[in-house]
Structure 1
Amino acid sequence: MITLIGMGSGTPESLTAQGLAALQNAGLILGAKRLLEQLPQGCTEHRKALYQPEDVLAALAADPEVDAALVYSGDTGFYSGAAQLLPMLRAFGISCRVLPGLSSVQLLAAAVGRSWQEWKLVSAHGCACDPVAECLTAGGKPVFFLTGGAETPASLCGRLAAAGLGDAHVLVGEELGRAEEKILFGTAQEFAQKQFASLSVLLVEHVPQPPRRVPGFPDEAFHRGEVPMTKQEVRAAALAKLAVQPGDTLWDVGAGTGSVSVELALAAPLGHVYAVECDPEACGLIRQNRETFHACNLTLVEGRAPAALADLPAPDAVFIGGTKGGMEAVVDTVLARNPNARICISAIALETLSAAVAALTAHGLDAEVTQIAVSRTRPAGRLHLLMANNPIFLITGERK
């Protein structure tokens, strides 16, 4: 029999009465060294500083009759090692029970006098974490980060600040539930430069939320200047052709005003968009539209394709809005990086249409061409006349 016990902050005072009784009745206690050193009085001296599942199973196999306990910090149900161990115990037919403890999210909420049921809970403890994506997809709710290892409150705040979210309000809880407990308030920009205790958690609040809606924002929502812009109806169709997934890596080659780049970024909140553009005026508009729509997962790459694509991560999907005559080289580069990349090419001239079809078929793809002809009404006295926009071709390629 083994009992998995959450020790909360790791001090005897944070144990539940059930947890205390189980520890005092156990003949063997396992867990991290720092937790074993904090055990309450009346516990056995038969202790082993181990907690990895394989080590725990080996210790139980060596002494199958002992009534054992395994201590975890925090709560056994909140990003705890108990989740990995429990199915292994059951698979070996080892009887077990779980006694939960106080989690760090509960301790922080109590320390600042708030409820936490609306918080988004994220672990950055010993695992990869994208704080920008987590905050931008929180729907305006506070985001709680459990930190540890390489990810600290400072490193997470640094990445938020680098993405333009430096004004976000943040709280850091150090040594929660212990005598050394501190609650610190500031902004992501301020905390990116600070050092914090190893036992710390982070709460991020008041992050601007990107607009959420189906693709095809009104043209007037974007900064345009004199740079050509992909119109609303074409943008919506292009995103449908690209079948964007939330975590995709996306390229927008010849990004112009960045209208397609912004739509791609909002459609892939857990991914990243690279807007490639060589015109200085267009680059300025991309920056403005990125800020207007809070598209923090959009990176501007200033340069001419295909050379500007060399250092970008392999794409899942690519929109090609302009290549300045380098269509074949751009398509070659895309498919060299990912032969299965989804490609949608926009063309207004017949020569561009021909070049796009040739570039795709040269790689063994079946080129599908869709023509979009959009007319919009214009008032003329008491009447409304339809005024046609230039027809646009969308060319996609699919493997045979």
Structure 2
Amino acid sequence: MKITLLGGGLGNPDTLTLAAWKALQNAQVLVGARRVLESLPKELTGERYPEIAPQKIVSRLKQAMEEGKTEACVVLSGDVGFYSGARKLLPLLDFGPVEVLPGLSSPQYLASRLGMPWQDYHLVSAHGLGEDQVDPVGEVRCYPETFFLTGGQFTPQSICRRLVQEGLGHLPVTVGENLSYPEETITRGRAEELAEREFEPLSVMLVENPRPAPLCLTGGLPDDCFLRGKAPMTKQEVRAVSLAFLSPGERDTLWDVGAGTGSVSVELARLARKGRVYAVECGEEAFSLLEENKRRFALSNLFPVQGMAPEALEVLPAPQGVFIGGSKGNLGAILQAARKKNPHVRVVINAIALETVHQALEELTKQGFTNIRISQVAVSRGKEVGRYHMMTALNPVYVLGGEGGGL
């Protein structure tokens, strides 16, 4: 039996390709989601079987083959190559010849209705996914045009509300409902405007961000990039080594404890551009500079938290990595708070005094951290003296790192 796996377009029969229409006309068996099958023209003569689970689709096809049927179509919505069931189904169709026919996808259709190209769309399916599987704000933050398939907890309204909460409520948003049907609706506005609107559950959404976060592959910005004042700041060379120790991922949640002016916080937010950085600082002047540096770099994923650690850490989400630039004598409690949130957390500590180095090694060992490392960063910088150049030494800094060993 020949099996044709085809994209059924947007639901309106007018969006079927000619090749798909010919295959449907010849098919004796039609299998797919009930909504997809009900949208097909009534004149098709093939028997319709509503199934969505791959194993049940295979069982239905094998039954049709045993009954002597020679042609069957499995109809998927949109295009077979765009977040469809084809990925799981194709490896199971090993009992007969299979032809795959593409279909019109929702990003193609929406772009055509808007009169714009779609080759630069960043494509995201948030349909039916959980918080740990997709971060809509992180996706929007990094690309000029982000297209969403919505559904489940991630509706256009909920995504717009998240954008508003994280300072991106001004971004232009387009929502498409019931695309290709007579009741099709396309709504355009700012995220803050659409955050109070309700839309159809299975809508599509385009968010435009004219200032996406740049891809940052390494850390160590020059010191003069930051506003400093009289507050302490981690120097460029020490920052670079500390970031290498911490190895932040693009989607990580990170803490910067004792953030000072925020030089490390800014670097972390640039590297974890789809993640979140919480910068904890108790000093008034330093906290003001931290907020100024956040604005200076336009980092919507950097969240200054004014307070004393470990108390200020209680409300923060679990981190993948923690940088500790200052502890006010609470290093042990800060490490405990991080491990309580994530037993496998990565930590990096900066220390100047030997007593702090001793305490850090003692706490890391006592609390079961593994892969404990320590390096001394001793930097000298060139300085012009008349027509000569001399090296001026900075205070040596110890960089310690470790990984939580679990509970």
Q: Secondary structure at the match of 1:98?
A: strand
1:309-352 Cα shifts (integer Å, max 9, x gaps): 23433333221111111122222333444444322211122322
Aligned to 2:43: 42
Is the 8 Å Cα contact of residues 339 and 404 (structure 2) preserved in structure 1? Answer: no
Aligned to 1:13: 14
Aligned to 2:153: 150
Q: Secondary structure at the match of 2:316?
A: coil
Displacement of 1:80: 0.8
Judged with a 3 Å threshold, the aligned counterparts in structure 2 of structure 1 residues 56 and 366 are, in CA distance, closer, same or farther, namely closer
Aligned to 1:104: 106
Is the 8 Å Cα contact of residues 157 and 191 (structure 1) preserved in structure 2? Answer: yes
Judged with a 3 Å threshold, the aligned counterparts in structure 2 of structure 1 residues 26 and 14 are, in CA distance, closer, same or farther, namely same
* Structure 2 residue corresponding to 1:164, chosen from 156, 164, 167: 167
Aligned to 2:4: 3
Judged with a 3 Å threshold, the aligned counterparts in structure 2 of structure 1 residues 79 and 232 are, in CA distance, closer, same or farther, namely same
Q: Distance in 2 between matches of 1:30 and 1:5?
A: 11
Aligned residues: 396
Matched, 1:370 2:375: yes
Q: Secondary structure at the match of 1:247?
A: coil
Judged with a 3 Å threshold, the aligned counterparts in structure 2 of structure 1 residues 13 and 398 are, in CA distance, closer, same or farther, namely closer
Aligned to 1:394: 399
Aligned to 1:51: 52
Is the 8 Å Cα contact of residues 250 and 272 (structure 1) preserved in structure 2? Answer: yes
Q: Distance in 2 between matches of 1:243 and 1:373?
A: 21
Instruction: Map 1:248-259; keep pairs closer than 5 Å.
Output: 248-259=252-263
Q: Distance in 1 between matches of 2:61 and 2:46?
A: 17
Q: Distance in 1 between matches of 2:96 and 2:288?
A: 64
**Identical amino acids, percent of aligned pairs:** 49
TM-score by length of 2: 0.89
Aligned to 1:119: 121
Q: Secondary structure at the match of 1:2?
A: strand
Judged with a 3 Å threshold, the aligned counterparts in structure 2 of structure 1 residues 11 and 399 are, in CA distance, closer, same or farther, namely closer
Instruction: Map 1:129-278; keep pairs closer than 5 Å.
Output: 129-138=134-143, 141-211=144-214, 212=216, 214-278=218-282
* Structure 2 residue corresponding to 1:300, chosen from 265, 279, 304: 304
Is the 8 Å Cα contact of residues 29 and 44 (structure 1) preserved in structure 2? Answer: no
Displacement of 1:375: 3.0
Q: Distance in 2 between matches of 1:53 and 1:278?
A: 55
Which one is further off, 335-344 or 14-23? 335-344
Q: Distance in 1 between matches of 2:343 and 2:113?
A: 53
Q: Secondary structure at the match of 1:125?
A: coil
Q: Distance in 1 between matches of 2:286 and 2:296?
A: 15
1:51-70 Cα shifts (integer Å, max 9, x gaps): 22122122223322323222
Is the 8 Å Cα contact of residues 136 and 207 (structure 1) preserved in structure 2? Answer: no
1:69-101 Cα shifts (integer Å, max 9, x gaps): 2222211111111221111122xx243222221
Q: Secondary structure at the match of 2:150?
A: strand
User: Residue type matched to 1:252 in 2?
Assistant: D
Q: Distance in 1 between matches of 2:15 and 2:333?
A: 64
Q: Distance in 1 between matches of 2:247 and 2:364?
A: 18
Q: Distance in 2 between matches of 1:58 and 1:247?
A: 40
Which one is further off, 233-242 or 275-284? 275-284
Judged with a 3 Å threshold, the aligned counterparts in structure 2 of structure 1 residues 235 and 6 are, in CA distance, closer, same or farther, namely same
1:279-328 Cα shifts (integer Å, max 9, x gaps): 23333322222232233222333322222223433333221111111122
Structure 2 stretches lacking a partner, 5+ long: none
Q: Secondary structure at the match of 2:294?
A: helix
The root-mean-square deviation of aligned C-alpha atoms, in Å, is 2.4
Displacement of 1:391: 2.1
Displacement of 1:215: 0.5
Q: Secondary structure at the match of 2:6?
A: strand
